[in-house]
Homo-oligomer: A and B are copies of this chain.
């Protein structure tokens, strides 16, 4: 029997979940829920219905895991604990500083209602977190480095779009090669924000807009750009659509640590991602952990979980014999 999945929210991530379900033959999409008028939302899977978000609770007996695809700022802090009353749930909550609070909120409800709620699944938080943990456990004397990119930052692109005179924009976060090389060489450098990443912006402006004002507003924008070396390229809408319509991303988690009686040896653990599609990859991680949510709940487990709590075998669609024989 397939694991029956519901998707709450049909943006880039929701569509990515739909694609991931198609690739996993032990899963089946049974419903998509939207805040928009369901009749205006066209999905890819044949014979699956789109419902208003208000219908979700009525479908609780038809869904094994509800995947919440909303945003971390306002959607998930409300939705994940609320829907944990009715479903096993999973989200990609990524406001790092608020994870402990979100964990407690979800844990309370999920335990009370005998469901599993897995939070903060994706690649950062998610696979990057896992690799930080494994690498810290192994190399207890060392330094962690996380680099993001090259990839599109949605938040930074949005920030540029809010500037007067800007029609559209794409911002790439780019790791600085010299910094990455220094870490990989075991030099254990201390790196400032500016030394780790640069920011490349591709901006489409209105006819007659003051480009030098816009460039200056971007480069001096606090939190987003002022601490970085930023390059601004003004391009046409045609060029933006042609060369910058994808949502690639990636990055690296590196731990450089010492071993030996006198800490005389250095060792580098690196986990890196190079993704053509950030939302599809995030969705693929979530789909794998949705499998774990289903299996753990079947075994009687309840409460909030993170990637740290889940034994790896729960996330893969292969028998234990297969993984012992072929992957170990």
A residues adjacent to B (C-beta < 8 A): 16, 18-20, 22-24, 44, 96, 99-100, 103, 120, 125, 127, 129-134, 136-141, 184, 186, 250, 259-261, 265-277, 280-281, 283-285, 288, 291, 306-313, 315-318, 320-321, 323-325, 327-328
Contacts and interface: CB of A to CB of B under 8 A. Distances in A.
Contacts of A23: 140-141, 259
A285 to B, nearest CB: 5
A276 B267 contact: yes
17 contacts: A19-B261, A103-B324, A130-B312, A133-B313, A133-B315, A134-B315, A136-B316, A137-B291, A137-B312, A138-B281, A250-B268, A259-B277, A267-B281, A268-B273, A269-B273, A271-B271, A306-B324
Contacts of A271: 131, 269-271
A312 B316 contact: no
Contacts of A324: 99-100, 103, 306, 308
Contact of A120 (B20, B24, B100, B328): B328
Most buried by B among A308, A316, A328: A328
Contacts of A141: 23
Contacts of A18: 261
Closest 7 A-B residue pairs measured CB to CB?
A265-B276, A259-B280, A137-B316, A265-B277, A268-B274, A137-B288, A308-B313
Nearest to A129: B328
A254 to B, nearest CB: 9
How many copies the complex holds: the figure is 2
A267 B99 CA distance: 27
A129 B129 CA distance: 18
B184 A274 contact: yes
Given A133-B316, A265-B277, A328 B140 contact: no
Nearest to A26: B140
A267 B275 contact: yes
Given A324-B99, A328-B120, A260 B274 contact: no
Nearest to A313: B308
Contacts of A100: 321, 324-325
Given A260-B19, A269-B273, A271-B271, A140 B317 contact: yes
Contact of A274 (B20, B120, B267, B312): B267
A230 B328 CA distance: 28
Given A100-B324, A138-B281, A308-B312, 5 more contacts: A127-B269, A270-B274, A307-B312, A307-B328, A310-B312
A286 to B, nearest CB: 9
A260 to B, nearest CB: 6
Contact of A323 (B44, B133, B269): B133
